[in-house]
Amino acid sequence: MRIMTPIIQFFRRNWVAYLFLAPWLVGFFILTLYPMIYSLVLSFTDYDFTNPASTQWIGIGNYVKMFGSMFGLSEFTTVTGEVMHVDPYYLKSLSVTLSYVLVSVPLKLIFALGVAVLLNQKLRWVPFYRAVYYIPTLLGGSIAIAVLWRKLFEKEGLINGFLAVFGFTDLPSWITDPRYAIWTLVLLSVWQFGSSMIIFLAGLKQIPQEYYDAASVDGANKFQQFYAITIPLLSPVILFNLIIQMIGAFQAFTQAYIIGGGRGGVLNSTLFYTLHLYIQGWTYHEMGYASAMAWVLLLIIGGLTAIVFRSSSLWVSYGVGE
């Protein structure tokens, strides 16, 4: 009885709060925590969705399958004696995704900041302009825009038609040329800078006008003011946008899926990580391998986020007037 008393007390004090939290708690345990553990377990097996009964432990086989080609492997035997082949496209999908993230995220933030500064002036119609600049973000994630993007960057597409006016002829089909396909996706991502822009605008409004007034009295020009006042005071917002956009960019899927017609495009030039994961898991039913890929993605995103956070002590300032 005595052991029970604290438990009963706990329930008496907290039951209402936990009642409100119940849907979230159920969701967390059943739809997040349990699947996470389960997918970690699956990542050490050769689980095949169409034939789950034959599932076997293969140790770190799936992970060797991913990174084996870095060590010159093409075929290897797992601890359980199963012969496996190294995935020839994994590293390609990783490099495609990394270049996409490394180029699109900084470009998007630079563009968002530039437009935010432009719109943070005492001008008429700013709310209207802000709305117009947000429209691509509003629609950009949709299938409609992905379909449109294919059309724009085809050989006979709008972009080439536009460039022809300026005398450019014999232009490639940007969407199917493996040299350029990824950059059309980068452009599509940068085009949707609206959310970052709105966050930057909110941040810019927090910077007191007096700082700029004082700086111009001291003879600082606009560019000096931008580097000495705007950038440092906005750095927490930049950090925030950087992390949000980075996490999002790693998980980009829809646009590459549509533009590649459900595959990785010509020579897998647009084989995004998540697209490769989907193809492995749902086209080839290699769900053990897909789980392993998901965990590596989690580690990559977690690792890079941690690095960005660590580095932030060097470039993010939270104080005013240091």
Which residues ranging from 204 to 233 are in contact with other proteins (CB under 8 A)? none
Long-range contacts at 87-95 (CB < 8 A, ≥ 24 apart): 87/280, 87/289, 89/264, 89/268, 89/271, 89/276, 90/65, 90/66, 90/276, 90/293, 91/66, 91/67, 92/264, 92/268, 92/271, 93/264, 93/268, 93/271, 93/272, 93/273, 93/275, 93/276, 94/273
Inter-axis angle of helices 194-205 and 126-140, to 10 degrees? Answer: 140
Looking only at residues 146 through 175 of this chain, which bind other proteins when binding is defined by CB under 8 A?
147-152, 156, 158, 161-162, 175
Q: Binding of other proteins at residue 194 (CB under 8 A)?
A: yes
Q: Binding of other proteins at residue 21 (CB under 8 A)?
A: yes
Looking only at residues 250 through 269 of this chain, which bind other proteins when binding is defined by CB under 8 A?
250-251, 253-254, 257-263, 265
- Measured torsion, CA atoms of residues 39, 44, 46, 48, in degrees rounded to the nearest 10: -10
Pick the closer one to other proteins by CB: 121 or 313.
121
Pick the closer one to other proteins by CB: 16 or 53.
16
| Binder among 12, 23, 223, 318 for other proteins (CB under 8 A) | 23
3-state secondary structure of 85: strand
| Binder among 38, 227, 284, 315 for other proteins (CB under 8 A) | 38
Contact predicate 56/82, CB 8 Å: yes
Looking only at residues 100 through 139 of this chain, which bind other proteins when binding is defined by CB under 8 A?
115, 118-119, 121, 123, 125, 127, 129-139
Q: Output the smallest distance, CB 14 to other proteins, in A.
A: 4
| Binder among 106, 141, 232, 236 for other proteins (CB under 8 A) | 141
Q: Binding of other proteins at residue 67 (CB under 8 A)?
A: no
